Chains A and B, each alone.
Chain A
Amino acid sequence: MHNIWTIAQREYRHFFISPIAYVFLVVTLLTLGGFFFLDIMVASQTMQYVPDIQRTLSLLVFPLLFLSVPVITMRTIAEENRTGTLELLLTTPLSDWELVVGKWFGSFLFFLTAIALTWIYPIILNRLISPGLDRGPLLAGYLGLILFVASLTALGVMVSSLFNSQIAALFATFGIVILFWVIGSPAQVMSPGIAADVLRYLSITDHFYNSFLVGVIRIDDIIYYLSLTAFALLLGSVIVETRRWR
């Protein structure tokens, strides 16, 4: 635990030493803020609908987190590998899985920070509309968002452990994330059956858009994200381990 925390802390601090964190947070909050503002303006002028937080949240998931998670995670292990600091870390009493989990946790904490900052929108919205926001969908949406980011980050760290090059890690992560994003689509045209169910179950979006975002918390969705995270981290540890044998 101590080792994981040491690694995670350095990882988290790194974002704030470099301009990465500030640029990311400014762009994310500006984009969301602009959209949020337009949404409220359109709603108040047309009087057609009541603005809700779901639209802002889904914008945060796509394209903001979809694009930024691979960019943030690409350097985690690939960079250590390229500069030779991985050799240093792997000759300290730090096991391979602790390194991978620490790296993941540091990046995950960074996204948690970003997500926490977006709380400002529901707080504003809650004051604007009466009788206030529906708490259920809001909390479910945020829980889903956190689980979603945990698994995306884990996939990114896992892919980063495969490469020396950050750019290679970036594109490979995009590839894998897109795969999980669209894997459910063929199920819509397939005849119902086990194959279609499996594809739908694997889809990273199905478990979010059709459940958490609309205010539903289902145990199997939670298990899906947790197991995807655990699986990616396990695979990442195995990859780091095999690196020693090459």
Chain B
Amino acid sequence: MIRVSKLTKDYGLRRAISDLDFNIEKGEIVAFLGPNGAGKTTTMRILCGYMPPTSGKAEISGHDVVDQSLEVRRIVGYLPETVPLYPDMTVFDYLMFMANLRHVKDAEDRVDEVLEMVHMEDRASGYVANLSKGMKQRIGLAQALVHKPEVLILDEPTIGLDPAQIIEVRNLIREIGKEHTVLLSTHILPEAQQVCDRVLIINKGRIVAEDTTVGLQARLTGAQRVSLKVRGEVNELVPKISKIPGVLKVTPELDNTLEFETSPSNDARPQVARVVIQSGYDLLEMHMSTLSLEEIFLQLTRDEPSSPSLDESATLETEEER
């Protein structure tokens, strides 16, 4: 559906993206993941025909984004990062305007349809200026959907929303993804994990990893990590557990918890449980912990310690846990 090869874009002397290569198949939901300034928006703008690349090629449904820009724009729905609405229009008029620009037949019916899809039918006659941020985001989505695009490109669709709205928009995207090919960008990892089939991690204009969310985890976790919680001080347990064959590494954590790694071929968990009990501790909890996408992300983009996106993803993760 989307084929990108050797895509490069320079802004003056600054190279925003360099030699990007990736393909997206029909019906996939793919996340573009990366810190701010990694080149996500630039790539998306090129894909929807807003600006041409410096070099390289991008095709959507076999149409070149530069040479057949109008064809591409006909089959792509795009939601830019700053949701572009006209505050002086009513929701219905705005969507009619977009539907007309997109040559939608029976525009009124279709507008009613997309309003229903984003659950905004009761606000159709209200002015855009009076909508909340989450509602504006949904109208932005409705606008991108109004012409039944084959491909949907969403730039940071959940940015600036409250947790309830985030969940709502994510569900909506998943729903939409059943019928459309979706490429969305985000710097929030759980979002990519929850919504998408596949993740492209981009940093400093290059793709640093590309895999399914499951595959990415498996690839980066050589060992199984197990988290253990006991009643009492764990520090004395550390040397005992370290001695057990099959245990590779033990690290004490806060709250009477410790984490150990065990090789998948030689599972040490039963032994560890026995040792804990025999040492006179109460075993409260033992569970496998897989490497979170956050950690994978940090590993892949490690040379950028002060990335602003990390703080933000951390706060958003706590929201997720609530």
A92 at the interface (CB under 8 A from B): yes
The interface bits of chain A over 172-208 (1 if a CB of B lies within 8 angstroms of the residue's CB, else 0) are 0000000000000000000000000000000000000
B52 in contact with A87 (CB, 8 Å): no
B316 at the interface (CB under 8 A from A): no
Q: How far is the CB of A3 from chain B (nearest CB, A)?
A: 6
**CB within 8 Å of A: which of B11-48?**
11, 45, 48
A85 in contact with B51 (CB, 8 Å): no
**CB within 8 Å of B: which of A124-153?**
none
A91 in contact with B73 (CB, 8 Å): yes
User: A18 vs B70: C-alpha distance in the bound complex, in angstroms?
Assistant: 33
User: A14 vs B103: C-alpha distance in the bound complex, in angstroms?
Assistant: 21
**A92: contacting residue among B86, B88, B102, CB under 8 A:** B102
With known contacts A93-B102, A95-B70, A244–B51 Cβ distance under 8 A: yes
**Chain A interface helix/strand/loop/mixed:** helix
The interface bits of chain A over 202-229 (1 if a CB of B lies within 8 angstroms of the residue's CB, else 0) are 0000000000000000000000000000
B101 in contact with A6 (CB, 8 Å): yes
B82 at the interface (CB under 8 A from A): yes
B100 at the interface (CB under 8 A from A): yes
With known contacts A2-B103, A93-B103, A88–B97 Cβ distance under 8 A: no
**B78: contacting residue among A88, A94, A244, CB under 8 A:** A88
In the bound complex, residues from chain A placing their C-beta under 8 Å from that of B70 are: 93, 95
User: A3 vs B103: C-alpha distance in the bound complex, in angstroms?
Assistant: 9
In the bound complex, residues from chain A placing their C-beta under 8 Å from that of B50 are: 87, 90-91, 244
A92 in contact with B84 (CB, 8 Å): no
The interface bits of chain A over 1-37 (1 if a CB of B lies within 8 angstroms of the residue's CB, else 0) are 0110011001000100110000000000000000000
The interface bits of chain A over 92-105 (1 if a CB of B lies within 8 angstroms of the residue's CB, else 0) are 11110000000000
Whose C-beta in chain B lies nearest to the C-beta of A17? B88
A87 in contact with B103 (CB, 8 Å): no
**CB within 8 Å of B: which of A40-93?**
83-85, 87-93
User: A17 vs B129: C-alpha distance in the bound complex, in angstroms?
Assistant: 13
With known contacts A87-B45, A91-B48, A244-B52, A10–B102 Cβ distance under 8 A: no
- Number of B residues near A (Cβ < 8 Å) is 26
A85 in contact with B103 (CB, 8 Å): no
User: A18 vs B127: C-alpha distance in the bound complex, in angstroms?
Assistant: 13
Q: How far is the CB of A31 from chain B (nearest CB, A)?
A: 27
B89 at the interface (CB under 8 A from A): yes
B135 at the interface (CB under 8 A from A): no
Whose C-beta in chain A lies nearest to the C-beta of B140? A88
User: A244 vs B45: C-alpha distance in the bound complex, in angstroms?
Assistant: 10
B89 in contact with A91 (CB, 8 Å): no
B49 at the interface (CB under 8 A from A): yes
B89 in contact with A84 (CB, 8 Å): no
B88 in contact with A87 (CB, 8 Å): no
In the bound complex, residues from chain A placing their C-beta under 8 Å from that of B45 are: 87
B80 in contact with A94 (CB, 8 Å): no
User: A85 vs B84: C-alpha distance in the bound complex, in angstroms?
Assistant: 5
In the bound complex, residues from chain B placing their C-beta under 8 Å from that of A88 are: 78, 80, 84, 98, 143
User: A84 vs B83: C-alpha distance in the bound complex, in angstroms?
Assistant: 8
B97 in contact with A6 (CB, 8 Å): yes
User: A102 vs B81: C-alpha distance in the bound complex, in angstroms?
Assistant: 26
**B51: contacting residue among A2, A6, A245, CB under 8 A:** A245
B85 at the interface (CB under 8 A from A): yes
In the bound complex, residues from chain B placing their C-beta under 8 Å from that of A89 are: 101
User: A59 vs B74: C-alpha distance in the bound complex, in angstroms?
Assistant: 48
Q: How far is the CB of B61 from chain A (nearest CB, A)?
A: 14
A83 in contact with B101 (CB, 8 Å): no
User: A246 vs B52: C-alpha distance in the bound complex, in angstroms?
Assistant: 9
User: A17 vs B78: C-alpha distance in the bound complex, in angstroms?
Assistant: 27
In the bound complex, residues from chain A placing their C-beta under 8 Å from that of B247 are: none
Q: How far is the CB of B85 from chain A (nearest CB, A)?
A: 7
B169 at the interface (CB under 8 A from A): no
Whose C-beta in chain B lies nearest to the C-beta of A14? B88
Whose C-beta in chain B lies nearest to the C-beta of A85? B84
With known contacts A95-B70, A245-B51, A85–B86 Cβ distance under 8 A: yes
In the bound complex, residues from chain B placing their C-beta under 8 Å from that of A7 are: 101
11 more contacts with CB within 8 A, not counting A83-B82, A87-B84, A88-B78, are A3-B101, A14-B88, A17-B88, A17-B89, A88-B80, A88-B98, A91-B50, A91-B80, A92-B101, A93-B74, A93-B101
Can you pick out 19 interface pairs between chain A and chain B where the beta carbons lie within 8 Å of each other?
A2-B103, A18-B88, A84-B80, A84-B82, A84-B84, A85-B84, A85-B86, A87-B84, A88-B78, A88-B143, A91-B50, A91-B73, A91-B78, A92-B98, A92-B101, A93-B101, A244-B51, A244-B52, A246-B11
**The 5 A-B residue pairs with the shortest CB-CB distance in the complex, in nearest-first order:** A88-B84, A85-B84, A84-B82, A6-B100, A92-B101
**Chain A residues near B (Cβ < 8 Å):** 2-3, 6-7, 10, 14, 17-18, 83-85, 87-95, 244-246
**Chain B residues near A (Cβ < 8 Å):** 11, 45, 48-52, 70, 73-74, 76, 78, 80, 82, 84-86, 88-89, 97-98, 100-103, 143
